Amino acid sequence: MPQPLNYLRETASQTAGPYVHIGLAPGAAGFEIFRRELGRDIAGPEAPGERIRVEGLVIDGTGAPVKDVLIEAWQADAAGIYPHPEDPRHSEAAKGFRGWGRIITDFDTGLWSFETIKPGRVMGRNGRLQAPHISLWLVARGINIGLNTRLYFDDEGEANAIDPVLNLIEQVDRRSTLVARRSNRDGAPVYRFDIRLQGEGETVFFDI
Amino acid sequence: MPKPAEFYQRNRLIQPPALTPNYKTSVARSPRQALLSLQNSMSEITGPVFGHGDIDPIDNDLIRNFAKTGDPIGERIIVHGRVLDENGRGVPNTLVEIWQANAGGRYRHKKDTYLAPIDPNFGGCGRTLTDEQGYYFFRTVKPGAYPWRNWVNNWRPAHIHVSVFGTGFVQRLITQMYFEGDPLIRHCPIVNSIPDPQAIDQLIAPLDMNAAIPLDCVAYKFDIVLRGRRSTLFENRLEGN
């Protein structure tokens, strides 16, 4: 027998279940308990950049909206800086910008939305710039381990065309499942991003 | 500052796959296409940072944080442990959130219609930050088992849902903690979504008499392991300069 490798093993994931809101968004579960819930404001009121709204549905393999999903978002500020000590420029991150948010659906319709600022481009591997994107992580009943995906923007065609992650997707047609579509509502930009868990038009999910 | 280091790849052989038909809801909610593996970039090694300004000291005490007229009914317990990485190092200042049913197996959630009653003094959620060594603790009541519509007669073992962040978005994890000796564990389709028996054992918290408080409450110990990261003995090319 060789020497043992004494690494610990990652704790196994389990589904967040139907009542994930109790722990992570108790206000939505129907009761107030904490002084404030975390993840309600991604950008903060002072961060510069274009204010945008993102909305969509998560759709299951039967075509039905998933009404008990919880989504977390992680993004850079408008200058492409993550407010995290390992971003070399983190000390220049926009004031009050958290970069992280928690999003839950309407229990009746399954529609979710969040407001933030459009992120800037951030450095990828090997010095290649990435197109603006928001990292998303989905948990829900029936999802055994959180699903990672990315949201890109359809008005960033040039940057998307050379994005190193989008270009890893071998089937070119599937890249569009990660691109949110811009429209205007009352003069404000809204991006639509539906996530299909399974079947036709299935969203690309990552093992990050 | 040293160059950012990548995380070890997730061992999917010990993690539940997306499609586990005995857990029925997974059938329509699991991707059919393979996941696309990504090497870490800045977007993956970073993640949200939390501080003591985000939470209150009482947030980790589920016996008191929703008490209206007295203490909740149930078995008083401490749940404590460390958040570690795969290298065995404590993960400091990371957010741990828990939620659970009350002693009768009823959740305080408008969608839960189980006939067991709500406890007026129990909310069922808590949160805390680990200390410098990665240590955390909660005080709560032991949750009850409850039925769920999967097969006709499925019952979840007593469990506490646990959510942990780590330092990078790649470490984000939600799991469930079970209690030593619970005979429902081996019957549960959600537990058995995990293919590796050792990985299931790792979710079972042992009774920890050393941490119990005499004449007050017993304790269970639950260590949580997040993905570890490479040491930068050799240059990695995350940023490519």
Q: Is residue B236 part of a domain?
A: no
Mean pLDDT lowest for which of A117-126, B53-62, B227-236? B227-236
**Is residue B28, in this structure, part of any structural domain at all?**
no
- pLDDT band of residue B187 (cuts 50, 70, 90) is very high
Query: Which of chain A's residues have a Cβ under 8 Å away from the Cβ of B108?
Result: 22, 29-31
Q: What is the mean pLDDT of residues B63-92?
A: 97
Of B9, B168, B174, the CB nearest to A16: B174
Q: Does B193 fall in a domain?
A: yes
For B:204-223, CB contacts with A below 8 A are none
Please report the pLDDT score of residue B2 as a whole number.
53
Domain membership of residue B42 (yes or no) is: no
Global ipTM? 0.96
Active-site positions of B? 107, 146, 156, 159, 161
Q: Please state whether the predicted TM-score (pTM) of the whole model is above 0.90.
A: yes
pLDDT in tens, A58-114: 999 999 999 999 999 999 999 999 999 999 999 999 999 999 999 999 999 999 999
Is the predicted pLDDT of residue B144 greater than 70, yes or no?
Answer: yes
Residue B137 lies in a domain: yes
Residue B150 CA neighbour count, 13 Å, CB half:
22
Distances B94 to A21, B127, B228 between C-alpha atoms, Å: 20, 10, 14
Domain membership of residue B147 (yes or no) is yes
For residue B239, pLDDT over 60 is answered with no
- Using 50, 70 and 90 to split pLDDT, how confident is the model at B240? very low
pLDDT tens digit string along B78-127? 999 999 999 999 999 999 999 999 999 999 998 889 999 999 999 999 99
| Residue B187 in contact with partner chain A when CB distance is under 8 A | no
Residue B40 lies in a domain: no
d(CA B151, CA B154): 6
pLDDT digits (tens, 9 = 90+) for A120-138: 999 998 889 999 999 999 9
The predicted structure's pLDDT at residue B235: 57
Closest residue of B to A61, CA-based?
B28
CATH of the domain at B143: 2.60.130.10
The pLDDT of residue B241: 36
Please state which architecture CATH assigns to domain A37-196.
Sandwich (2.60)
**Pick from A74, A127, A197: which is nearest to B47 by CB?**
A74
Count of domains forming chain B: 1
- Nearest-CB residue to B225 (from A8, A85, A168): A8
- In sign, the C-alpha dihedral spanning B133, B139, B144, B149 is negative
Instruction: Considering only residues B235 and A200, tell me which one the structure prediction assigns the higher pLDDT.
Output: A200
Query: Alpha-carbon distance A155 to B33, whole Å?
Result: 27
A129, amino acid identity: L
Q: Say yes or no for a CB contact (<8 Å) between B14 and A9.
A: yes
Query: Can you give the pLDDT at residue A28?
Result: 83
The reply to whether B6 falls in a domain is no
Question: Does position A55 have pLDDT exceeding 60, yes or no?
Answer: yes
Backbone angles phi, psi at A205, to 5 degrees: -115, 150
- Domain hosting B209: range is 50-226
